[in-house]
Amino acid sequence: MSQPVISLRDVSVRLNNHTVLEDVSFDVESPSFITIVGPNGAGKTTLIKLLLGMIKPVKGSVKVLGMDPFKESERLRSLVGYVPQRDRVSYETPLRVWEVVLMGVFLKKRFPRTISSSDLESARIALEYLGMSEYWEYFFNELSGGQQRRVLIARALASDPVLLLLDEVFSGLDSESQQYLLNVFRMLRDRNRTILIVEHEVDPIMELTEKILVLNKTVCAYGDPNEVLSEDKLKPIYPCLKMIEKEGRRIFILGDKHA
Ligand SMILES: Nc1ncnc2c1ncn2[C@@H]1O[C@H](COP(=O)(O)OP(=O)(O)OP(=O)(O)O)[C@@H](O)[C@H]1O
Ligand SMILES: [Mg+2]
């Protein structure tokens, strides 16, 4: 059997003398689409940073693609795409859209780093997937927040990552951009890539979600969406939980997101 994509055992993280993650254990056995939900401050972003080797656990073991992210950070990052949870990224030097996207390829190369015509082609294709080709020559800093987000997703895609980590990239986008992104997700699924996405609303990405992980400092529930999305599993961590019926489906309004 091939190695799990992600494997965490009893992982705890302390930041500033506070326990932010405690005894977190879960496995992602094979390529899949995992949605992580949890209230503000639950440790979702911290978990993603842990998977990237940006944070060291005080306890437990973390394996991503068979590697210890903290010890093999550089090798791991050449295989992982990451789009952080931020509204705007500004660069001190004004960069054009194509330069931002190429960074995704360039920074993952070994020295001496050079840009080939196939790198440019990868950047072009990635922008096309996000419907952003026409912005190739634009300055990144002049784009709207949603357009910047699409470019940053293209940057993460350009190196064709095995694992894509996305921190609240979906819900802030308009519906056309969301459609582009859903198509990207479908394409990646067909290529057996793993996507781990943090979102406050599961419903818009429900059709792709194979497993849901409910995090609140520790793993509260993890598994098939139909099992996890139940009132008794969610109510303890979402006191404002509401359930509505739409077109015969149950939709949970978790009642926790960003302003
Ligand atoms: N660098 C840091 N130093 C100290 N505490 C931190 C640091 N980063 C995060 N924290 C704390 O860790 C906890 C978890 O933060 P995290 O950003 O992982 O939450 P989150 O689940 O992503 O929340 P949100 O939904 O608001 O994005 C919070 O209490 C936060 O204040
Ligand atoms: Mg976060």
Three-state SS string over the chain comes to CCCCCEEEEEEEEEECCEEEEEEEEEEECCCCEEEEECCCCCCHHHHHHHHCCCCCCCEEEEEECCECCCCCHHHHHCCEEEECCCCCCCCCCCCEHHHHHHHHHHCCCCCCCCCCHHHHHHHHHHHHHCCCHHHCCCEHHHCCHHHHHHHHHHHHHCCCCCEEEEECCCCCCCHHHHHHHHHHHHHHHHCCCEEEEECCCCHHHCCCCCEEEEEECEEEEEECHHHHCCHHHHCCCCCCCEEEEECCEEEEECCCCCC
Which pLDDT value is given to residue 1? 54
Express each pLDDT in 158-197 by its tens digit: 999 999 999 999 988 999 999 999 999 999 999 999 999 9
Query: What strands, in cross-sheet order, belong to the sheet with 163-167?
Result: 80-83, 163-167, 194-198, 33-37, 211-216, 218-223
Kindly list the distances between the CA atom of residue 168 and the CA atoms of 86, 102, 176, 196, 221, in Å, as whole numbers in the listed order: 8, 22, 17, 11, 20
With bands split at pLDDT 50, 70 and 90, how would you rate the model's confidence at 32? very high
- Cα gap 152→97, rounded to integer Å: 9
Which pLDDT value is given to residue 50? 97
Which pLDDT value is given to residue 235? 75
Q: Whose CA is nearest to atom 7 of ligand 1?
A: 15
Express each pLDDT in 119-164 by its tens digit: 899 999 999 999 999 999 999 999 988 899 999 999 999 999 999 9
Residue 216: CB within 6 Å of ligand 1? no
pLDDT, mean of residues 229-256? 73
Are 97 and 132 in contact by the 8 Å Cβ rule? The answer is: yes
Residue 171: CB within 6 Å of ligand 1? no
Q: Read off the tokens for 258.
A: 């960003």
Q: Whose CA is nearest to atom 27 of ligand 1?
A: 40
pLDDT surpasses 90 at 226? no
Q: How far is the CA of 172 from the centre of ligand 2 (A)?
A: 14
Residue 43: CB within 6 Å of ligand 1? yes
Percent of the chain residues topping a pLDDT of 90: 65
Which pLDDT value is given to residue 119? 87
Which pLDDT value is given to residue 107? 72
With bands split at pLDDT 50, 70 and 90, how would you rate the model's confidence at 258? low
CB proximity list for 185: less than 8 A, separation 6 or greater: 33, 195, 205, 208
- Cα gap 9→3, rounded to integer Å: 15
Q: How far is the CA of 213 from the centre of ligand 2 (A)?
A: 14
Which pLDDT value is given to residue 89? 66
Which pLDDT value is given to residue 51? 97
Which pLDDT value is given to residue 246? 73
Q: Whose CA is nearest to atom 17 of ligand 1?
A: 45
State which of 24, 46, 214, 218 you would mutate to test the pocket of ligand 1, scoring each by most atoms of that ligand within 8 A of its C-beta: 46
pLDDT surpasses 80 at 247? no
pLDDT, mean of residues 33-54? 95
CB proximity list for 44: less than 8 A, separation 6 or greater: 36, 37, 38, 167, 198, 215
Q: Whose CA is nearest to atom 25 of ligand 1?
A: 40
With bands split at pLDDT 50, 70 and 90, how would you rate the model's confidence at 228? confident
pLDDT, mean of residues 55-67? 96
- Sign (positive or negative) of CA dihedral 85, 185, 145, 138: positive
Which pLDDT value is given to residue 201? 85
With bands split at pLDDT 50, 70 and 90, how would you rate the model's confidence at 3? confident
With bands split at pLDDT 50, 70 and 90, how would you rate the model's confidence at 92? confident
pTM above 0.75, yes or no: yes
Q: Read off the tokens for 205.
A: 């990405």
- Cα gap 150→132, rounded to integer Å: 7
Task: Tell which residue, 157, 161, 181, has the closest CA to residue 169.
Answer: 181
Q: Are strands 33-37 and 211-216 parallel, antiparallel or unpaired?
A: parallel
Q: Whose CA is nearest to atom 29 of ligand 1?
A: 41
pLDDT, mean of residues 72-87? 88
pLDDT surpasses 60 at 88? no
